[in-house]
Structures are given as structure tokens and as C-alpha cells.
Chain A
């Protein structure tokens, strides 16, 4: 990774940048006095949690936040030329030609009705109208090829939805670099991608930086990503920069307490938990050859099944009482479908699910009802897992009401107890979900799952949507509760680091099958399956020295 030319004028100088948005209430100060410099050819990472102002900063650099409700002050100078107050026409010349930008979600960032090639051509011809359409198309093909898209002659005429996520992001990068800008701003470019794809994209960005001297500003919340690619790091919190320095400096000797807290929360996830002794009892949950297929129907007059989506394709595992089984897989691996099929929220196509020795696969809703309290679920997306029209207390007490276990005052009392048990003040009973933060909402989700005193709790990506510092808290809470209530967990996630932190045993899922399972340490340190190996290799390590060592050893 090149560290840029030292001692020359900075390519980009940002001074005392401030951005405030008018809202229904008080104006929000998203960026509150940010100053930094970007040298030619260097990779600068701006890292922070949600709400830190990192994205707004990035978008303000090329004037994307301009609008009737935004007040922008300060200075952004590109090679000495002031951008902040520049006229729209001037800014347009800078965008794409001097500074390119890519965004988080490549699917929604491309216009779905135009072909990829056409959109790249559009970028080219907007700045170079003298270039003919044919020439521009040729250039588009070249660009797609340069970012590693196979078969670019054909792919240039594809629509965005016909590309996979990783390909789309590559195409976005190609389009952003079409006019060979000196700077690339990447706003959370890999957050929406699977970890194996993320590794590829990061490799691509590294290569572009190395080969072309492309200065890069990378916005992210993931310290692992930072460790893999950055030269220098800025840590943002509450609209301000709280820490700045070289990569190793920030990671190994952070000065700011917030940065230290963040790094602690992140690094901790990498350590393995103490082993829990097994107790030699019959397993609480036994899943054998579970299959869930979704039929694809097609036909001339009447729909007939022509194909199946094999979401879960013959899965077997067991979970002992009191243990935590970590189920890890990327998107599309079938892990979410599996957890729902186990809980009979989806009817399995075939196979067996035995809970406490009793077969529950395919039971009717009526027969399942009395069994439900013993097996509950914690969901991923806190904004959709709580009914927005209900108060927190009602949400937590609902399971008791549904099962007819309690009502009236007793119900309210128990709901309040549950809230306190998960670390929320009982007064939050009256609040609505939208008044709580993501972490608080997840606590509510956990409280709800515990209301019926279950034996088994399946947690489907419970911390994926949360910031790193909150993640640790929630995981700790879950571990505490496990000890206190004697719970058995199946912990489903795509982040193997998180899974390792809490699990006794790990099962790795890929394309509907479990490709490897065993004790957590063994699976993570001595994996036998090639997919598991690939997965582990792709996970970014939030430790720069280790990251460099790994890269060095993998170069042929």
C-alpha cells in the first residue's frame, strides 16, 4: 500500500467543515468542525458509528448535501481550488473528473431501467461530449474489464439486477473511475456485501490505489476493513474528529477514550469464550435431514412446479441443553430459513425436528401452540420486529396474553420486570419503538423472547444491525441471561467473529447444507472444509500487523 508522496501539497484540504440540517425540531449538527487533509495517492479511512457524521462529511465534499434545509460552512479545497461555495456548474466538472464516488448499496445506486454500459457511457459523455457513443462503449468495456468483471463485452449490455452484488459494486467502481479522477470517495462500499465478496472488493481498491496512485477516502464503521486498507485513519464521533493518525498509531496507541472503547469492543469479539463443560444429557434439540424447498411455479394455463429453490437442503445437527450453537453462513446460505423451519414458523418440506425428544416437524398450528413457549426467537431487524403501533410494555407482555398465562395487573408487572431484567428502566413500558435506539429495541426483543420462560432461544442475527460498541453490550446481556435462566441458544449470524465469541460449537452453512460443524475453536483454527477456510480467510482482522502478515503469506 503506497503511503503517498510525502511533503508535497495535500490534494484535498478540508477546514472546519460544518453541516447542519433543519428538521421539525432543533437543527441537527451532523458535522461539527471537521478538518483534515488528503495527500495524493494515500488511503484515508474515516471510521465511526452511525450518527457520527462520516457519510455526511463524504457527501459534502462534492456538494451532494446541498439543499434548502442544509447549512454548510467551512472550506473544502481541491488542489487549492475552493469547492464549498462553488457554482453548481463548476462542481459538476469536478464530480467524476477529479473526484469519483461510490456508495453503499450498488443495487439501488444504479438506475434499474438502463443497462450498465449505458450508465457508464453517460458518465463519460457528460464530461467529454465529443467522444462518440461507439468509442464511449469501447471504453466502458475496457473499464469493466479493468475491475475484474468477466466477459465484459457481453456484460456491458446487462441490466443492474442481472449482476451479482459484488459485480455491481465493481461496475460502480469502474463507472466512478471512468474519467480517471485523482480521488475516489467510497462510502461504506462493502457494508452491504458478503464477507467473501468484501475481501475481493477491498483487494480491488488496494490494487487501484497501488497501480494508479488513486487517493481514496474510505468511509466505514468496520475496523477490520480499516486495518486491511488504510494508510491513515480519522475516527469520528458526534460530528467531530476525535482521533487521527497513521494506521498503526491509531490501532495500537489510541489517545482518545472513545476510540479506545470502540477498539476494545471490536477486538474483544475476536477472543474465544471459555469452554463450557458438556453434561452428557440427551440433546434438547435434534434436527435430522431437514429440508425446506420453495417451489417455483410456472405453466401454460395452470401453475405447475418446474423448479425448486433449495433453501435448506438436508441439514442435521443437535443442540445440548445449556449450550450455544453458532450457525454461520453468508446471505443465501439458508440459515434464516433454517431457523424458521426449526421453530415451525415455516412448514418443513421433509425431515425431522425433535424438541425434548418430541417430534414437532409439520405439526398443525393448534398442536404447536402449547409447545411454543418453550422455543422462542430473537429477530434481526429491530425496526420491523416490533409493532410500531404498540407500546414497549404491550409488546413484551403480549406473549403472556396470547398464551393466556397472565392478564391485567399481573401482566403489566411481569412485563416491567422483564424490561428491567434486560437493562431497560421500567418506565420505558409506555414508550413506542420509534422512541428507542437500535440497541434498546433489541433489548426489548430479547425481553419479549424471554417472557414465556423458554428453554430454547434462536437468535437470528441479533446484533448485525447494531453498532460495534452496542454489539458487545447485547452479547454480554445474552450470555448473562443464558446463565441466569439456563437457556439454550442457537445463534445465527454471518459474522464468524461474533459467532465465535459466544458459541460452544459452530456449524457452517453454505447453499442450504452444513459443510462443517464442531467445537468453536476447532472450526475457527483448524477448519477442514474448503468453504470454511475461504470464509475464515476473508474475514477482515481488526489488527493491521496481522492483516499485513496474512496478505504477505497469501501472495504466491
Chain B
């Protein structure tokens, strides 16, 4: 266990380092993005820009600039070029919104994905299976941001069934918190519901032909027991690992949804920063996102070793 933890930590650190360097390099390739000009703002003139450049060290060699930025990020002192506010603080402010969105959507997609996948597999070949497959494939093919726009327009603006964006804290008013989040949750979840139901269906169909299922039947177990305790149980293992990977990578997926529904979470901050070519928040958020991906990748390996006794920690789950 210790060996696994140490290795993973070392690996994670290496990956995060590489990611941060990559982002920094990407953005210093842009000729137009002169951070000094951004900071100078409306009253920019050559002397101001020059003095800002000197003061902030923008003409220092790149490795030095990189180190300085990393230091700032890790100690929570990064300042945005565009808005001059503290990046880390703004990220922290956005966490509850993003977290609410992510966890809610995840709960929805896991519930429906597993339910539909199970029903599809148990009634494979029949009309229910075919119908659910149509839904699933449509879900996978859905452009999420477009769906968000459509739902927002028709359900919120036109029919006024649900609020048109914005966020209400859970502690303030749980009902409104949920109401504001229903559309974003559904939008985000649809793709994953489709994906997970198909993966589960496929795994279960494979499992149904397995030798140990034949043994279970030969023992005289009821069909229900065979399906749940053997087929489903074994089929869920890859689903769990998939979930870990998908949830870890969710930060990328929420950017557009938060933007459209105006949820003021970390994703929306990312979106705004991209538009404004604001490097510090982009770096910080990218690192934040990468951290989660790496963290969940490691968690997935641990959980997988726990679920499948054949697997020893340290061997890759994929």
C-alpha cells in the first residue's frame, strides 16, 4: 500500500509539473497577449506598459517567470491580469457551484445509466431494449451546449417552468438551489446516461455468457439472484472505474454548461478567462482540473483493487 501511494504521488507530481509547463508554454507563444497591456487597462500608454513590464518582471527569462507564477499559484497569491483580483480566491468561491453541479449530475447519470443498462440487458433484444438503446445513442450524440441553450430557451424563457440560470446556495434555500440546477444537471447528465447504460448493457451481456453464471444457475439460484449478485455485481466494476475517470475529468465538461446557465462556478471563470486571454486564472484552473484528474485516476486504481480481489494494488486498472 505504501509503495503504491509513494509511486502514485511521485507520478502525479511529475504529470502536474508537465501540465503546468505545457500551459505556460502555450500561452507564451501567443504574440498578442501582452500581459502588461492587459494590466495597464484603458489608460495604456507605452511608458505605463514599460514600467509594468519591469515591475512585474515580464521581460525576465521565461523559466523565471514560470517559477514565479507557480510559486504564486501554490501559495495563493496569484493575481489576474485582467481583473486584478486574487485568482485562488475566486476559484474557491466558485467551488460550491461547480461541486453542486457535478455531484448532482453524477448522481442522476449513475442512477439512470445503471437502471437503463440493467433493464436493457435483462430484456435484451426486446422492444424495451431497443427503445432504451435509441435513447442512449441519442444521448451520446447530443451536443451538450446546444441542448443547454434549447432547454434554457424553451423550458425557462418560454414556458417559465424553471429559472433561467443563476445559482442559489443550498444553505440559503434548498428548493431553489435544486430548481436552478435541474436544467444544468439534466444537460450535463444526458451524455453520460447514454454512455453508461450502453457500457453496462454490454458488460452484463458478456457476463451472462460467463462460466460462473452457468455455475450459479446450476446451483439452483433464482434468476433474480443470478442477475444481481453475479451478473450485475461483476459488471459494475468497470462502471465504477469509468465513473472515477469521468468524474475526475468533469471540470472540462462544466465550462460550457456553467457559462450558459450563468452559474458562476469555476467553469464559468475558466470560460471568461479564456476569452480575455487571462493567463493566471487559466493556469490555475487547468492545474486545478489536472489535479482532480490525476487524483481520481489514483482513487480508481485503489477502488478497483478493492472491488476485484484478483487485482493487486499497483497494477493499472485499465
- Residue numbers of A with Cβ under 8 A of B are 59, 62, 64, 68, 88, 92-97, 100-101, 103, 105, 108-113, 122-123, 126-127, 159, 161, 172, 175-176, 298-301
A126 with B3, Cβ < 8 A, contacts A64-B214, A68-B125, A105-B211 known: no
Return chain B residues, CB-CB under 8 Å to A159.
Answer: 309-310
Return chain B residues, CB-CB under 8 Å to A300.
Answer: 2-3, 6-7
Q: Considering the chains assembled together, what is the distance between the CA atoms of A96 and B215 in angstroms?
A: 10
A108 with B210, Cβ < 8 A, contacts A88-B223, A96-B218, A97-B220 known: yes
Cβ of A99 to closest chain B Cβ, rounded Å: 9
A299 with B3, Cβ < 8 A, contacts A109-B212, A111-B230 known: yes
Verify if B308 is at the interface (C-beta below 8 Å from A). Answer: yes
Question: Are B6 and A301 touching (Cβ within 8 A)?
Answer: yes
11 further A-B pairs in the complex, CB-CB below 8 A; given A103-B214, A122-B225: A64-B217, A64-B218, A92-B221, A95-B218, A108-B212, A111-B212, A113-B234, A123-B221, A159-B310, A299-B3, A301-B6
A112 with B219, Cβ < 8 A, contacts A103-B214, A298-B3, A300-B6 known: no
Cβ of B30 to closest chain A Cβ, rounded Å: 37
Return chain A residues, CB-CB under 8 Å to B218.
Answer: 62, 64, 95-96, 100-101, 103, 176
Question: Are B3 and A108 touching (Cβ within 8 A)?
Answer: no
Question: Are A113 and B214 touching (Cβ within 8 A)?
Answer: no
Question: Are B219 and A110 touching (Cβ within 8 A)?
Answer: no
Question: Are A113 and B307 touching (Cβ within 8 A)?
Answer: yes
Cβ of A67 to closest chain B Cβ, rounded Å: 10
Please name the residue on chain B nearest to A120 by beta carbon: B219
- Residue numbers of B with Cβ under 8 A of A are 2-3, 6-7, 10, 125, 210-212, 214-223, 225, 229-230, 233-234, 237, 307-310
Question: Are A175 and B3 touching (Cβ within 8 A)?
Answer: no
Return chain B residues, CB-CB under 8 Å to A95.
Answer: 217-220
Most buried by A among B210, B220, B221, B310: B220
A126 with B225, Cβ < 8 A, contacts A108-B210, A112-B212, A112-B310 known: yes
Question: Are A112 and B308 touching (Cβ within 8 A)?
Answer: yes
Question: Are B310 and A161 touching (Cβ within 8 A)?
Answer: yes
Give the dominant DSSP class at B's interface: helix
Question: Are A122 and B6 touching (Cβ within 8 A)?
Answer: no
Cβ of A126 to closest chain B Cβ, rounded Å: 5
Question: Are A113 and B308 touching (Cβ within 8 A)?
Answer: yes
Return chain A residues, CB-CB under 8 Å to B221.
Answer: 92, 122-123, 126
Question: Are A113 and B225 touching (Cβ within 8 A)?
Answer: no
Question: Are A109 and B222 touching (Cβ within 8 A)?
Answer: no
Cβ of B52 to closest chain A Cβ, rounded Å: 43
What are 12 contact pairs spanning A and B, CB under 8 A?
Answer: A95-B218, A103-B214, A111-B215, A111-B230, A112-B308, A113-B308, A122-B219, A126-B225, A175-B219, A176-B218, A300-B7, A301-B7
Question: Are B310 and A94 touching (Cβ within 8 A)?
Answer: no
Cβ of A106 to closest chain B Cβ, rounded Å: 9
- The one of B6, B125, B309 in contact with A112, judged by C-beta atoms closer than 8 angstroms, is B309
Interchain residue pairs A-B with the least CB separation, the first 7: A95-B220, A96-B220, A108-B211, A111-B212, A123-B219, A101-B218, A109-B211
Return chain A residues, CB-CB under 8 Å to B211.
Answer: 103, 105, 108-109
- The one of A109, A126, A127 in contact with B214, judged by C-beta atoms closer than 8 angstroms, is A109
Cβ of B16 to closest chain A Cβ, rounded Å: 17
Cβ of A60 to closest chain B Cβ, rounded Å: 12
Please name the residue on chain A nearest to B211 by beta carbon: A108
Cβ of B214 to closest chain A Cβ, rounded Å: 6
Return chain A residues, CB-CB under 8 Å to B233.
Answer: 111, 113
Please name the residue on chain A nearest to B125 by beta carbon: A68
Cβ of B203 to closest chain A Cβ, rounded Å: 13
Question: Are B219 and A113 touching (Cβ within 8 A)?
Answer: no
- The one of A108, A126, A161, A301 in contact with B220, judged by C-beta atoms closer than 8 angstroms, is A126
Q: Considering the chains assembled together, what is the distance between the CA atoms of A162 and B24 in angstroms?
A: 50
Cβ of B7 to closest chain A Cβ, rounded Å: 7
Cβ of A168 to closest chain B Cβ, rounded Å: 12
Question: Are A94 and B220 touching (Cβ within 8 A)?
Answer: yes
Return chain B residues, CB-CB under 8 Å to A112.
Answer: 212, 234, 308-310
Please name the residue on chain A nearest to B215 by beta carbon: A109
Q: Considering the chains assembled together, what is the distance between the CA atoms of A206 and B212 in angstroms?
A: 25
Most buried by B among A62, A68, A103, A109: A109
Most buried by A among B2, B6, B216, B222: B216
Please name the residue on chain B nearest to A118 by beta carbon: B229
Return chain B residues, CB-CB under 8 Å to A64.
Answer: 214, 217-218
Question: Are B220 and A111 touching (Cβ within 8 A)?
Answer: no
- The one of A101, A110, A161, A298 in contact with B212, judged by C-beta atoms closer than 8 angstroms, is A110
Q: Considering the chains assembled together, what is the distance between the CA atoms of A68 and B123 in angstroms?
A: 12
Q: Considering the chains assembled together, what is the distance between the CA atoms of A101 and B221 in angstroms?
A: 13
Please name the residue on chain A nearest to B7 by beta carbon: A301
Most buried by A among B221, B225, B234: B221
Question: Are B217 and A111 touching (Cβ within 8 A)?
Answer: no
Please name the residue on chain B nearest to A115 by beta carbon: B309
Q: Considering the chains assembled together, what is the distance between the CA atoms of A93 and B225 in angstroms?
A: 14
